[in-house]
Every structure is written in C-alpha cells, then in structure tokens.
C-alpha cells in the first residue's frame, strides 16, 4: 500500500477517536449520576464504535458478503449519528459557559443533566430525520439555454444523475428505483458525471442491470468520478458497456450536432493534463458542447477551451450539516445548482445517493431533468 492511504487512514482514525473521547467526556461531565459501572460500559462502547467505520470500510474493499455489508451499514449509520452527537456535545459546553456567566451559575450542576438530555435527544432526532430525508429523491427540472445549440436539440430533455455510490449501502434496489424514476421521465439522453459506484467490492453487473431498461433514444453517457477509481475500474467499464452505456474517458462524441465530452476524475484533477486533454479533443467552440467532469473546479481551463456547459457532482451539497458550510467554503456558489463562469455554464448536482452516512441534513437527494430551450 502506498504511503498516502496509510496516512489518510491513520488521520481519520485518530480524528474519530478524538471525537468519541470528547463525547465520552461530555456525557460523564453532564450526567454526573451515571455511576462507575455505567461509565465503564459507556467508555467500552464508544471505544468499539470509534473503530467501526474505518474497519468496516477496509473490509468492504476486499469482501462483499452479508456480514460485511451489515457491518458497513451499521458503521455508516453510526458515523452519521456521531456527527450530530459531536455537535450536541459542543452545544452542551457552550450552554454551560453561558449559564456560568448568568445568575443561574449556582444551579449549574443541577441543570447540566437537562442540558445534555435536550441536546443529545435533538441530535438523535436530527439523525433519524437525515435517514429518511436521504431516501426522498427529488426530481429537479432545470431549463438550459446554450449558444449555438442545434435546432434539433431544442425541446429535448437530458436526465442527469450523479453520485449514486452504488455498493454496500445503495444496492440493486436503489438502482431499480433510479431506473424506474428515469423511465417515467422519458428523457432523450442520460448523463452520469461520476461516482456511480462507491468503490467497495461488489458485483457491478448486478448493480447496473436495471439501467438497461432506461434506453433513451440518444444514449447514456458516463465519466468516472473519484470513487469509481477506488474500485476495479475495468470491471466497472465492462459492466457499463454491457448495459449499453457509453463510457467517455478523455473522449468526445457528437450526437446530432451537440458535442459531448467526458473526462475521468484522475485526469481532470491535474490542471496540466486537463488543459492538454481538452486541447486534444478538437472541440469546436462555435458549436454547443457538454462536458461531464465530476468535480466543479478548474473552471478557467474549461471555459478557455470553449465548453458551453459542464455537468458535475462530487460535492453532495455538503450532504450533512455542518459540512454544508465547509463545502461552500471550498467550492463557493458552484457547490450546487446552475451558475455561470464567464461563457461557461456549470450545473453541480447534489447527487442521488450518499457517501458514508446514509443521511442528508441541509441538503437533498436529486435527479435532474435538463430541458433545452
């Protein structure tokens, strides 16, 4: 194994241990009547849970059986609840500080259990809401106007769904649901700009089989995201090809006068390779074009190449509060929705699936119907 994955795993596991320790200290400090036996049990449980997600994730890259899938799903759900429990613990100490500076300071020890009960109950309820919200997939309709769009494309529709993260959490049932939604919308073409797979060991043929039923008249086009490159890329490509999906890997296709380009994540991540690849695709700036590029960045290079519209995902809109804030700091307005960068238009989808915790709070799952005007 290369050095950087080991360092990444170590840092993530260290962070998870620190977060669990902080929650443990908060619970012990605020629920003073737990008693020695309960405190020991709480510590043991949190210590075990602290290692659950990293262990389950590592197992998921090598095994695909019912036990590993169950462990991964439990660990992923716990990771989501952990996020909100950590926020609750922070709010407990903040409330504690506020009360310490108030006339209620003498009664602080009596108020602490009520503070903890309220904050942690709210955290659990938020996590439960997030589980249900993530499974509610919205259909968003977005009108698109592109300069030099062929007349034959006006009035047509394109279905965009990104970040399905098919694997141990989003299985064949999820694929069938997406395929069913797609068939009801009856698009002329389908675009998949990456992270179709989660990267875990799986049977890609079984996961993508429902997509055979979609059959849009102008085809289905896919470009790889970062999670697609975690797993067996050749098997993914073979499975998609069997389902009639066109995989664009630094390639261009012209469909009824519209140029469609696709770049895999690894090549698009490098500014030099991105610029070189776009220059080598013989893009005609006088004709409308759509680029499937998983991450909504390197936009000056894409705009200079003359691309009309970039379709991206990757951000999940932040997926969970407070990561919605952090993602917005990184990608700005291109975190979600349709925005313009000079002559380039960029649509970033929040995605249909989830990574890690199967939860959404502050964002929603979506598939997008682009309507060309």
Q: Which domain CATH number covers 144? A: 3.60.21.10
Average pLDDT score over residue span 135-164: 96
Task: Give Dmax over CA atoms of the chain in angstroms.
Answer: 76
Instruction: Provide the pLDDT for residue 232.
Output: 77
- Report the distance separating Cα 83 and Cα 131, nearest Å: 13
pLDDT at 1 over 60: no
Residues 77 and 188 in one domain: no
- Report the distance separating Cα 12 and Cα 54, nearest Å: 8
Residues 158 and 299 in one domain: yes
Structure tokens at 263: 């770049």
pLDDT band at 216 (very low <50, low <70, confident <90, very high): very high
Contact 187, 155 (CB under 8 A): no
Residues 163 and 308 in one domain: yes
Which of residues 102, 133, 164 is at a domain's end?
133
Residues 84 and 214 in one domain: no
Q: What are the strands of the beta sheet with 245-247, ordered from one edge?
A: 137-144, 365-372, 157-160, 189-192, 220-222, 245-247
% of the chain residues with pLDDT over 70: 99
For residue 252, give Cα distances in angstroms to 53, 124, 255, 284, 303. Answer: 39, 48, 10, 11, 16
Structure tokens at 168: 């141990």
Which of residues 98, 133, 168 is at a domain's end?
133
Q: Is the alpha carbon torsion for 173, 222, 200, 81 positive or negative?
A: negative
pLDDT tens, 51-78?
Answer: 999 999 999 988 889 999 999 999 999 9
pLDDT tens, 167-213?
Answer: 999 999 999 999 999 999 999 999 999 999 998 888 999 999 999 99
Residues 204 and 221 in one domain: yes
What rounded mean pLDDT belongs to the chain?
93
Residues 126 and 172 in one domain: no
Residues 356 and 232 in one domain: yes
Contact 51, 15 (CB under 8 A): no
pLDDT at 264 over 90: yes
Instruction: Provide the pLDDT for residue 297.
Output: 93
Structure tokens at 191: 């675009």
Residues 15 and 146 in one domain: no
Which of residues 133, 163, 182 is at a domain's end?
133
Instruction: Provide the pLDDT for residue 2.
Output: 60
Residues 146 and 122 in one domain: no
Domain that holds residue 332: 139-372
Contact 174, 279 (CB under 8 A): no
Burial of 35 (0-12, 13-18, 19+ CB in 10 A): exposed
Element (H or E) spanning 330, and its range? helix 323-331
Q: β-pairing, 189-192 with 220-222?
A: parallel
Instruction: Provide the pLDDT for residue 252.
Output: 95
Structure tokens at 232: 């067996």
Instruction: Provide the pLDDT for residue 359.
Output: 98
For residue 79, give Cα distances in angstroms to 54, 233, 258, 302, 356. Answer: 10, 27, 43, 36, 7
Contact 355, 227 (CB under 8 A): yes
Residues 158 and 82 in one domain: no
Q: Please tell me the pTM assigned to this model.
A: 0.92
Residues 55 and 198 in one domain: no
Residues 190 and 335 in one domain: yes
Domain count across the chain: 2
- Report the distance separating Cα 311 and Cα 302, nearest Å: 12
């Amino acid at each position: 194994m290369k050095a950087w994955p080991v360092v990444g795993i170590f840092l993530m596991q260290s962070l998870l241990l620190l977060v669990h320790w902080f929650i443990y200290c908060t619970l012990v400090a605020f629920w003073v009547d737990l008693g020695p036996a309960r405190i020991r049990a709480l510590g043991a449980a949190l210590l075990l849970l602290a290692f659950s997600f990293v262990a389950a994730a590592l197992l998921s890259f090598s095994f695909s059986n019912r036990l590993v899938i169950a462990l991964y799903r439990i660990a992923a759900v716990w990771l989501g609840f952990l996020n909100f429990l950590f926020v609750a613990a922070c709010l407990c100490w903040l409330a504690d500080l506020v009360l310490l500076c108030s006339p209620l300071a003498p009664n602080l020890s009596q108020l602490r259990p009520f503070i903890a009960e309220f904050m942690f109950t709210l955290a659990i309820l938020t996590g439960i809401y997030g589980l249900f919200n993530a499974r509610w997939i919205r259909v968003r309709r977005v009108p698109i106007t592109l300069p030099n769009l062929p007349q034959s494309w006006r009035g047509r529709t394109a279905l965009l769904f990104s970040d399905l993260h098919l694997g141990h959490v989003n299985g064949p049932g999820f694929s069938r649901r997406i395929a069913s939604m797609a068939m009801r919308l009856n698009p002329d073409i389908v675009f998949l700009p990456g992270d179709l797979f989660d990267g875990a060991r799986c049977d890609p043929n079984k996961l993508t089989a429902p997509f055979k039923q979609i059959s849009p008249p102008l085809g289905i086009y896919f470009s790889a995201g970062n999670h697609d490159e975690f797993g067996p890329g050749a098997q993914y490509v073979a499975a998609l090809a069997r389902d009639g999906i066109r995989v664009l890997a630094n390639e261009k296709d012209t469909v009824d006068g519209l140029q469609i380009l696709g770049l895999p994540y690894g090549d698009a991540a490098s500014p030099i390779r991105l610029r070189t690849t776009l220059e080598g695709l013989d893009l005609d700036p006088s004709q409308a074009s759509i680029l499937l590029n998983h991450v909504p960045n390197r936009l000056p290079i894409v705009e200079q190449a003359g691309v009309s519209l970039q379709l991206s995902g990757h951000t999940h809109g932040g997926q969970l509060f407070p990561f919605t804030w952090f993602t917005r700091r990184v990608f700005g307005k291109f975190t979600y929705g349709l925005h313009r960068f000079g002559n380039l238009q960029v649509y970033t989808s929040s995605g249909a699936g989830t990574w890690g915790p199967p939860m959404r709070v502050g964002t929603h799952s979506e598939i997008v119907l682009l309507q060309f005007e």
